[in-house]
Amino acid sequence: MNKTEKINFAAALWHGAFLALGVALTQPDTVIASFVTDLTGSTVWVGGLATVLSIAGGLPQLFVARWIEPLPRKMPYLLLAIYLRVASWGTLAVLIYTIGASHPRALAWALVLLLTIFYAGGGLGGVPYTDIIGKVIPPHRRGTFFGGRAALAGPLSVGAAFLARYVLAHVAYPNDYALLFGLAAGALLIASIGFLLIREPPRTDADGRVPRWSEYKGQLLATARHLRGLVTVQMLTGFSMMVLPFYVVYGKQVLGAPAGAVGWFLLARVLGGVLSNLVWARLVDRHGSWRMVVVCASISTLTPLLAIVLGRLGWIGLLPVLFLGGATMNGRNVGFSSALLELAPENERPTYSAVNGTLTLPLALLSLFAGLLLQHWSYPALFLLTAAFVGAGAVVVWRMRSFAPSGGRQEEA
């Protein structure tokens, strides 16, 4: 790599590392799930919030892609999305500190609104992010980048998990959550320095003309056909994400986990992601994204079954489950991000990112569905249902042998 490529690589790693630190402090399936449980005591609220956040992150992407794909540079829009997210987390921290103890119901709705803004910012930023990373990271270095980004984030994430555990155990509720969200906003602000340093090469053939929807529709349909195999696998294996927020709720409501246990759940979740990253990166670089996803889906199938077996040991038995949940969640990010870049033509990355996000949007309903089921079903029944669907996904991806459509093109980005 030349000097500019090295600076871009390092700056992108910087952003990923500090973003991971912020996310580790406010994990949606541990910290946020626990906070919502404390505020409302309802599994429907836990599942409903997870659904709203997923929709907020995915819905804007088609509109954003059509608008920014013709632009030579996408960096200003990515920075706008980052600072929108910083503001939402910072505002939430202030509200928790000022009204959290006296107006829990009002705070619950404020939490929904501000986290919706945060995840909508992620949807706005995800489209230009995919294009920028595709331009500044050479194809043969992408597995190294995605794995290295997470590996560099490892010490920061583990440190954040220890810090969160300490805060949740020693700072009075709800100020403990206010402090965590405030620190997360600061971490994301520091992360933005990485993209301020990146030198984004312009798209040389960009004319800046936004296509009419009638013109853009044909491109969307062609993209959807090209992504059908990847989307099918994401949908089936995505059932593993359905239960992630409910492992913590299961521990608190059924297994009697104390408040301090949330910190241990978070630590197990983060450690699983950190320690697995180098494995996922090596699998992608040596064997391709398809084989990596096969391994990840197989482990995801076993994880909810282990929750049933190890739950008999009490809440401590859920620690290995959260560890594997963190590992496979990071595996999905590495494998599917790499596969999307493999499939997307260079000048159509924003559209591919947006179509992929839109077609997998029904996954957002699964957490709400799970919350509703738990009003009548037991947790083990939900875990068995999850294992069945994810196992079907593992079989499908194994039989596919590739994410590229049969006879279709698989262009190098």
d(CA 194, CA 190): 8
Q: With respect to residue 133, please indicate whether it lies within any of the assigned structural domains.
A: yes
Torsions phi, psi of 412, nearest 5?
-80, 125
The owner of tokens 């709203």 is: 52
Q: With respect to residue 168, please indicate whether it lies within any of the assigned structural domains.
A: yes
**CATH number of the domain that 109 lies in?**
1.20.1250.20
Asked whether 183 and 21 are in contact (CB, 8 A), the reply is no
Instruction: List the one residue out of 270, 398, 367 whose CA is nearest residue 324.
Output: 270
d(CA 185, CA 180): 9
Give the chain's domain count.
1
d(CA 210, CA 118): 26
Mean predicted confidence (pLDDT) in 13-36:
81
Asked whether 37 and 249 are in contact (CB, 8 A), the reply is yes
Instruction: List the one residue out of 126, 64, 134 whose CA is nearest residue 347.
Output: 134
- pLDDT of residue 410 exceeding 70, the answer is no
Winning range, highest mean pLDDT, from 131-140, 170-179, 282-291: 170-179
**Which of 139-143, 249-253, 314-318 is predicted with the least confidence, judged by mean pLDDT?**
139-143
Specify the pLDDT at position 71: 73
Q: With respect to residue 218, please indicate whether it lies within any of the assigned structural domains.
A: no
- pLDDT of residue 408 exceeding 50, the answer is no
Mean predicted confidence (pLDDT) in 91-96:
90
Q: Tell me the C-alpha to C-alpha distance, in Å, between residue 217 and each of 211, 256, 411.
A: 10, 52, 21
pLDDT band at 409 (very low <50, low <70, confident <90, very high): very low
| Tokens representing residue 107 in the block | 């705070």
Asked whether 30 and 271 are in contact (CB, 8 A), the reply is no
Q: With respect to residue 150, please indicate whether it lies within any of the assigned structural domains.
A: yes
Q: With respect to residue 266, please indicate whether it lies within any of the assigned structural domains.
A: yes
d(CA 234, CA 289): 13
| pLDDT tens column, 335-376 | 887 788 778 887 777 788 778 878 887 877 887 788 888 888
Q: With respect to residue 264, please indicate whether it lies within any of the assigned structural domains.
A: yes
Mean predicted confidence (pLDDT) in 27-39:
78
Specify the pLDDT at position 336: 84
- pLDDT of residue 407 exceeding 60, the answer is no
Q: With respect to residue 202, please indicate whether it lies within any of the assigned structural domains.
A: no
Enclosing domain of residue 276: 3-197+223-400
Mean predicted confidence (pLDDT) in 105-126:
81
pLDDT band at 212 (very low <50, low <70, confident <90, very high): confident
Specify the pLDDT at position 381: 93
Q: Is 3 exposed, middle or buried (0-12, 13-18, 19+ CB in 10 A)?
A: exposed
- pLDDT of residue 206 exceeding 60, the answer is no
Winning range, highest mean pLDDT, from 67-71, 202-206, 381-385: 381-385
Q: With respect to residue 312, please indicate whether it lies within any of the assigned structural domains.
A: yes
